[in-house]
């Protein structure tokens, strides 16, 4: 169709690729925050922060509201936050220092 069209299409696809990776993570964060502290952002600090992060990434308002409604539903999946801790192995560092 033309070089200009191809450049525009490539730019759009790059932006859509980025959005398809970020938006589900933001929606899950909003859903988890709404389940933990309620669906009112004024009373729930985590939800307010998650919404501000989503708005900073230009997430549509409809997607944000859908994530909150999904958390308010009775048959919603339960997400839990898990924190893993571990020790850093210094084998490579020791090997590197020996040479």
Per domain, the residue ranges of the chain are 3-98
46 contacts 79 by C-beta, under 8 angstroms: no
Architecture of domain 3-98: Orthogonal Bundle (1.10)
pLDDT tens per residue, range 32-64: 899 888 889 999 999 999 999 999 999 999 999
Task: Find the angle CA(30)-CA(33)-CA(37) to the nearest 5 degrees.
Answer: 140
Q: Count how many Cα atoms sit within 13 Å of the Cα of residue 36 in the half-sphere of its side chain.
A: 15
Tens digit of each residue's pLDDT (9 = 90 or more) over 8-35 = 999 999 999 999 999 999 999 999 899 8
pLDDT in tens, 61-86: 999 999 999 888 866 666 666 777 76
């Amino acid at each position: 169709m033309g070089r200009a069209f191809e450049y525009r299409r490539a730019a759009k696809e790059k932006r859509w690729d980025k959005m398809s990776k970020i938006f589900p993570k933001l929606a899950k964060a909003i859903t988890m925050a709404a389940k933990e502290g309620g669906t009112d952002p004024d009373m729930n600090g985590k939800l307010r922060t998650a919404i501000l992060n989503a708005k900073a990434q230009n997430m549509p308002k409809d997607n944000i509201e859908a994530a909150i409604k999904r958390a308010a539903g009775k048959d919603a999946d339960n997400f839990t936050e898990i924190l893993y801790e571990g020790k850093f192995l210094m084998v490579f560092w020791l090997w590197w220092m020996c040479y």
